[in-house]
Amino acid sequence: MTRVVGLDIGDGVLRAAEVKDPARARPTVVKYHEVAIPHGAVSKGEVIDRDAVVAGLRQLWSQGKFGTKDVVLGMGNHRILARDHVVRAQPIDRIREQLPFQVQDLLPVPVGDALLDFYPVSTEQTDQGPMVHGLLVAAIREAVLGNVEAAEDAGLHVAEVDLIPFALTRLLLGGQSGMTALVDIGASTTYVVMASNGVPHFIRVIPSGGRDITDAVVAAHDIPFGEAERIKRTVGILGRPLTAEVQPIAATIASATHEQLMAVRNTISYFATARPHLPVQRIVLSGGGGDLPGIREAFAELTRLPVTDADPGSRVVVAKSARVEGPGWRDALSVAVGLAVGSTA
């Protein structure tokens, strides 16, 4: 199809981006819209309150005036598993057919409860013949179907389900040479993707994000969520002189952020140790949590790697009709656009 909508079902917000000619080298984002949904209707990427999400999706399409109901739905939470897997070289359809008979020992659930896919990375000639190295992707069936059914109840047609880390890599790292660590910090999930020349080699899903820091401030200091979010965005982790009133809150922000920073650093260190022949050259930071003041400098200090901000606009053309505005619009639309870009719908 010439147009498809990437749909990001997030915690507290639904986002959709309509992309024209998604398979082209530089497709066009023609429309973008987002609507808020009740807190708790979606938890860590999974639909909890289907009625609230269906109502939100209908509102999203009514207000966004999208030209199609064909959507690519994103999935990506702690119930998504991605692991190294090696198979004999053969057509990809055949590889996927054989997965249920090969991977039960790699899964934390019965194979019948999981949806399986294989993402090829490289081919190697061995004594047993050509072998394909890649990523086994397994998603809990119940979690995926819950989101798909909510979209279909809203009158949408789910043409594809894609892994959000793949979508972000496709959009944000297409032009990056060498091994890059893409760190996307969302509201409740952080993705770390190790990609070489835009091809993912390793994925880790960390079940915490920017909202967890705000929640820590709310819990420790008994202040409203909105005020805690505002203070977090203002204070960050810069370590600059603060008033006596703000210092305890800043300490809470620093403590909660430190846990997430260490989880990311340990992930990158694990990859570097396991793949010494693929040295990590840089970190690309994306997601709303990547805007926290001081976080880029903290990552650079912890990892001794250069840290740059992602630029989703380098891969697409954003038409005026997309109506995106505000300082954080690029991070807001990255997942939705990434899902649509390169779609085969």
Give yes or no for a contact between 307 and 285, defined as CB atoms under 8 angstroms apart.
yes
- Helix, strand, coil share (%) of the chain residues, nearest 5: 40, 30, 30
Residue 237 pLDDT > 70: yes
Task: Tell me whether residue 148 is exposed, middle or buried, using C-beta atoms within 10 angstroms of its C-beta: 0 to 12, 13 to 18, 19 or more.
Answer: middle
pLDDT in tens, 155-182: 999 999 999 999 999 899 876 788 999 9
Same-domain pairing of 197 and 287: yes
Residue 327 pLDDT > 60: no
How many structural domains does the chain have?
Answer: 2
pLDDT in tens, 55-94: 999 999 999 999 999 999 999 877 888 888 899 999 999 9
229 domain-assigned: yes
Domain at 287, CATH number: 3.30.420.40
pLDDT in tens, 54-65: 999 999 999 999
255 domain-assigned: yes
pTM metric for this prediction = 0.89
Q: Show the domain range for 118.
A: 80-140
Residue 323 pLDDT > 70: no
Same-domain pairing of 196 and 281: yes
293 domain-assigned: yes
Domain at 89, CATH number: 3.30.1490.300
Same-domain pairing of 185 and 129: no
Burial code (b: 16+ CB inside 10 Å, e: under 16) for 222-248 equals eeeeeebbebbeebbbbeeeeeeeeee
209 domain-assigned: yes
Same-domain pairing of 189 and 252: yes
Same-domain pairing of 184 and 292: yes
Q: What is the mean pLDDT of the chain?
A: 89
More confidently predicted of 191 and 321: 191
Same-domain pairing of 134 and 181: no
Residue 225 pLDDT > 60: yes
Residue 242 pLDDT > 80: no
